[in-house]
Amino acid sequence: MRFVSFSFLAGLLASSLAAPLCAQPAPNAFRWIDFHSAADQAIVTWVTRSLTVENWTSIREIGVEYDAALVVTTTRSNPQSLPASDTFTVWSLSLANHSYVPLIKGVNLRMLDWLLLDDGHPRELAAVYDDCADCQPSTYFTAFHYDMAQHAWASRWMRGPQSILVWSTNIPQGVALSQLYALLTQPNGRSMMCTWNHIDHGAQKPEDIVACYDLDPATGKERMQSFTRTPALPIKQRICNALSDLPGLARGQDSSLCQETQKAHPDRKPVTTPPANNHGQSAPPKNRH
């Protein structure tokens, strides 16, 4: 866990309200494979043969960048199952030696947009997904990028088998949970995912958990920064004011919690009245002897 710096907060306070996000172009070296194109059949065959020993029903997508493929497979438990219950696996698969590794697994995968997370590097593909279909699901956020050093694809902010938890329907009894999240743009143009969980335990004082996930501009490594009390206020307001044309990059802005936040912390107005002890007179300080 890392604490936020004052310069980070100053940037958030100085930045304007988040504008609606528009779809961003993929990196120049990336392309989605066309399963009906004769020119792409060699890659389709390569991927299919590489994953022969794995358990999957169909190959949903193949994205290629340099010498590695980002592959999405789906698995159907039985022929009568509805597509919504299919599970998926996202793989990083080498186009040089048939090696592969699973990145994430779940249900209801939604590829969202290409995000700028690190200056001087290609945009990364954002996605959200759920952990189960026939249960009380949790929704997670991640981003896929081509790792130039490893010649492979990787997923961001992984903690064990899952990435950033942005929404959960599995709420303990006796607890009132308000959830919000939004993809925010920093003043330098990079994106970060911020979440706000307001937990009301009833008799106890409510608890706010505010966190932002991005890449450290100094090291390029993934980081999570937590905010409490006063430093959390600008994050809360930006989450509440976030707008997105792409479903999955913001949720919870219509909650009563946001309405209360906006009322409790209105924009400050300039003070135009003089102080009570001001009589409209001034005099230079007396000379000291």
pLDDT tens sequence across 241-281:
998 777 789 999 998 889 887 665 554 444 444 545 545 45
pLDDT tens track for 156-174: 999 999 999 999 998 888 8
The answer to whether 46 and 271 have CB atoms below 8 angstroms apart is no
Average pLDDT, the chain: 86
Q: Distance of alpha carbon 169 from its chain centroid, rounded?
A: 18
Domain residue spans in the chain?
2-264
Do strands 124-130 and 87-94 pair parallel, antiparallel, or not at all (unpaired)? unpaired
Q: Which tokens go with 272?
A: 């135009």
The angle, 0 to 180 degrees and rounded to 10, between the axes of the packed helices 256-264 and 229-241 is 120
Amino acid identity for residue 254 in this structure:
D
d(CA 266, CA 287): 46
The letter for the amino acid at 213 is Y
List alpha helices for 27-146, DSSP H.
41-50
194 three-state secondary structure: strand
R_g of the chain computed on alpha carbons? 24
Q: Residue 225 forms beta bridges with which residues?
A: 2, 212
- Does pLDDT of 181 surpass 80? yes
DSSP string spanning 140-193?
EEEEEEEETTTTEEEESS-BTTB-EEEEES---TT-EEEEEEEEEE-TTS-EEE
Paired with 73 in beta bridges are 59, 89
- Looking at residue 33, its pLDDT comes to 98
> Over the stretch 26-63, which tens digit does the pLDDT of each residue have?
999 999 999 999 999 999 999 999 999 999 999 999 99
In sequence order, the 6+-apart residues with CB closer than 8 A to the CB of 252 are 167, 178, 179, 180, 181, 196, 239, 258
At position 107, the amino acid (one-letter code) is: V
